[in-house]
Amino acid sequence: MRFAYLVYPEAIEKIERSGLVERGDACLGSDDYPTTSYIVDEREVVACVEDMQNRGYFKKLPAEQAASFRDGLERVYRNIKKSPWKVTRATGVNEEPAELSDVLLLAGWLPSFFLSPNELWDYRCFGFSSLSAFTGALSAYMVNREKEKFEKRGLRWTAQRDGRTLVSEITGNDHSDFELLQTDVTPYPTLDPLGHEVSYRPECRKDMKGLFSHHSVEGNFLAILLKYAEQERISSPLLQERARPLIDYVRSLGQSIGFTTEHLTGTGLNPRILFAGYDAPLTNVDENLRSEGRRNWCFLSSSDNPYLVHVGRQRDLVFLQNVGEERTVAASFQPAELDDLLRGWMFQAAKGLGRTSARELVAALTYKFSGRYEQDLEQFRRLPT
């Protein structure tokens, strides 16, 4: 089942310029507008296509396109495992298996609820190169639109890296566990299951990286970001004047309640414990992802393998994970993304996407920048060994 698609800027510009967004939004959420989230078997796919037929949509399909379009949909439907998406990345052509919901995407079932039959099949009027390029892109856009309208999302930002466009977001799952998602949204050349070149693709595993942790780890993530900024001497407007701009930012957001009550009662975050090992440096990793010296910093994951936190060769903040005998990059961030990470981290807490409250994180920031941390560190160093 598809939950999201990556629609390329070229297609988004055409859809938004045409006024289709306003028409779709007017229909979205109404009792008559469907959703593909419940499409789970072949019978329901057939029922949806028959619904389009009963409403007269296929009768208006131009004769020169009718045979190839309907035959193509039939072929994909009956040979779903042999009709993959093909995405050309820098590493070569990757095939993504098609799913039944893709058949409805290509057929234009969702747009048929706010476009007339003549409009739905007139792809050239909207600037698209083929029928499925239009019906698919508009359907994918509406799937994403529905998801964004009814889901709480974290703050997102875009960065360019190694010829790729990456969108990052700090959020939480349904259990309010910490998640940092990093999605490759680069508009790679794509062929849909019909074999047509299109300006969108399914969001798949090859596009996704990120950090998937437990709940109440936002304080640990703060310590990592502050250590990274301090050690690499990264200039951050948000951390000027003892982090006053960052504190003012989070206070301007207020505090929303999420799936839990910890935003009201607190998680017991203790700043002194949080920064107990802060004086240890982040170690560097080489081109083979091997660390130089002792590993000092880690970040809990939802599995048994924690993320190992290091500084990369380009001064980037790198989260590594050992999977079997292989060490992989779970996520990495450039120095220029520091303020985005800080805003996203505070936004997640303020909007109730995790469990740690913004108030607790502000208290941790205040402790770190007030001089009390240095006093506690000095006392700790005087303790007998």
DSSP characters over 58-81: GGGS-HHHHHHHHHHHHHHHHTGG
Positive or negative torsion for Cα 30, 36, 40, 45: positive
Domain assignment of residue 172, yes or no: no
d(CA 314, CA 33): 49
**Is 171 part of a structural domain of the chain?**
no
Distances (CA, A) of 55 to 46, 52, 104, 313: 14, 5, 15, 60
User: Max alpha carbon distance in the chain (Å)?
Assistant: 89
Q: Number of C-alpha atoms within 13 angstroms, CB side, residue 138?
A: 35
Judge if 191 and 219 occupy the same domain: no
What is the average per-residue pLDDT within 224-239? 97
Specify whether 190 is located in the same domain as 234: no
Q: Would you say residue 239 lies in a domain?
A: yes
Query: Domain range spanning residue 373?
Result: 213-382
Least-confidence region, from 39-53, 181-195, 232-246, 318-332: 39-53
pLDDT in tens, 115-165: 999 999 999 999 999 999 999 999 999 999 988 887 888 999 999 999 999
Pair 142, 235 in one domain: no
List all residues 6 or more positions away from 99 whose beta carbon is below 8 Å from its beta carbon.
Answer: 1, 2, 80, 202
For residue 160, report the phi and psi dihedrals to the nearest 5 degrees. Answer: -100, 135
Examine the domain organization and report whether 253 and 185 are in the same domain.
no
Any domain includes 137: yes
pLDDT tens digits, 159-214: 999 999 999 999 999 889 999 999 999 999 999 999 999 999 999 888 999 999 98
Residue 217 confidence (pLDDT) above 90: yes
Whether 29 and 52 share a structural domain:
yes
Q: Is residue 173, in this structure, part of any structural domain at all? A: no
Mean pLDDT, the chain, integer = 91
292 and 273 in a common domain: yes
Residue 101: its H or E element: helix 100-107
Strand 164-172 and strand 298-299: the pairing is unpaired
- With bands split at pLDDT 50, 70 and 90, how would you rate the model's confidence at 24? very high
pLDDT tens, 345-370?
999 999 999 999 999 999 999 999 99
Say what the pLDDT of residue 250 is. 94
Contact 241, 370 (CB under 8 A): no
Neighbour-count burial of 112, counting CB atoms closer than 10 A to its CB (0-12 exposed, 13-18 middle, 19+ buried): buried
315 assigned to some structural domain: yes
CB contact at 8 A, 121 and 60: yes
Residues 266 and 202 in one domain: no
Would you say 126 and 95 are in contact if contact means Cβ atoms under 8 Å apart?
A: no
Q: How far is CA 261 from the centre of its chain?
A: 25
- Contact by Cβ (8 Å): 223, 300: no
Query: Residue 202 to residues 3, 183, 191: CA-CA distances in angstroms?
Result: 9, 12, 11
Strands (E), the chain: 5-7, 85-89, 92-96, 156-161, 164-172, 178-184, 190-191, 197-198, 200-202, 208-212, 298-299, 307-311, 317-323, 326-333
Number of domains in the chain: 2
Please return the burial class of 158, using the count of CB atoms within 10 Å of its CB with bins 0-12, 13-18 and 19+: exposed
The pLDDT of residue 40: 65
Instruction: Report how far residue 138's alpha carbon sits from residue 7's, in angstroms, rounded to the nearest whole number.
Output: 9
pTM for the whole structure? 0.90
For residue 276, is it within any domain? yes
CA 1 to chain CA centroid, Å, is 17
108 with 56, same domain?
Answer: yes
| Nearest-angstrom CA–CA distance, 377 and 276 | 8
Mean pLDDT of 15-43: 83
Q: Is pLDDT of 293 > 80?
A: no
Buried b (16+ CB within 10 A) or exposed e, 319-338: bbbeeeeeeeebbbbbbebb
322 & 351 share domain: yes
**pLDDT at 39 > cutoff 70:** no
Cβ atoms 237, 339 nearer than 8 A: yes
Do 190 and 228 fall into the same domain?
no
Q: Name the packing angle between helices 9-17 and 20-27 (round to 10°).
A: 80
> If pLDDT is split at 50, 70 and 90, which confidence band does 252 have?
very high
Tokens of residue 194, six digits: 């019909």
Phi, psi at 164, each rounded to 5°? -110, 155
Residues 201 and 217 in one domain: no
pLDDT at 34 over 80: yes
Q: Is 221 in the same domain as 333?
A: yes
What three-state secondary structure class fits 332? strand
Query: Does residue 376 fall inside a structural domain?
Result: yes
